[in-house]
Amino acid sequence: MSMQTRDRSTAGRWTEADVPDQSGRTAVITGGNSGIGFEAARVLATRGARLILGCRDRGKAHDAVTRIRAAATGADVRVVPLDLASLESVRAAAGQIRSTCERIDLVVNNAGVMMPPYGRTTDGFELQFGINHLGHFALTGLLIDRLAALPGARVVTVSSNNHRDGQINFDDLQSERGYRRMAGYSQSKLANLMFTYELQRRLHAAGTPAIAAAAHPGLTRTDLARYLSPVMTALYVLIERPLAQRAAIGALGTLRAATDPAVRGGDYYGPGRWRGERGYPVRVSSSERSHDEGAQRRLWQESERLTGVGYAI
């Protein structure tokens, strides 16, 4: 039986037009300079949100700011240098954000890398696990006290349908005994969901009004495919890319998780058609493995140990 579950609470299509007014809200978005991160940032800006884009490439980031301001005249948007492959950079970025933001209403953990050749972050973590999960775990933990007490505040983490093939290899988290690109990516995307569920449980236990939710874009055209092998690239260009939806559509799951008043803690949103790969966002289910609470707690503990970041909740 398919794990995709259609959200029957909302009739019709959920689109950009359904994003409510965001005036007075501050949103931090990683990787907001391209793909679904940019599209989410653009829409939030048009609704009045103050934006902080955490980006590694300053040139691309400032180009994104120009485009966002063209779409939303007078938009309050700025860039904070952020390299999720460096805990030093993560700490510096969090420090800059904290120095200018007394409150943060939304953190969108969007940036990521998909199936690169084997490599390590500055701190020695396998690239996909280090960037996609540990970097975001650390950044969120360093900002959590700025949003935990705020009604309506959210942490939204972008996962993938590939999480269904993922396993958390606690005996070899950094793939030192063997590395397969897809397995590493799937592990990191499963970690994104397990982090979301454990964070939500901790926020709820602490009695805070903030929530954690997740989203995935389905099959969407972005630059994540840049590390595919020549054979996989050819297959992607011939088969998948023509079927992939625009980034503006892929970003709707993120936007719904981030702004829909009906979202509850622990909800997961993604496309509602074509086995969860295309269409407008609905509430969906994740794999049985992602709901293993023992594994969630163990991953959390390992993430704290590896990053040195604890959560003030």
Q: Judge whether 185 counts as a catalytic residue.
A: yes
State the Cα angle at 35 between 31 and 36, rounded to 5°: 85
Phi, psi of 93 (to 5 degrees): -65, -45
Provide DSSP, 64-108.
Answer: HHHHHHHHSTT--EEEEE--TT-HHHHHHHHHHHHHH-S---EEE
Q: Which of 185, 268, 269, 311 is catalytic?
A: 185
- Give the span between the Cα atoms of 62 and 60, in whole angstroms: 6
Amino acid identity of 29?
Answer: I
249-269: buried (b, 16+ CB within 10 Å) or exposed (e) per residue? bbbbbbbbbbbbeebebbbbb
Give the distance, in angstroms, between the CA of residue 209 and the centroid of all CA atoms in the same chain: 20
Degrees to nearest 5, angle at CA 100 with 308 and 121: 35
What residues are annotated to the active site? 185
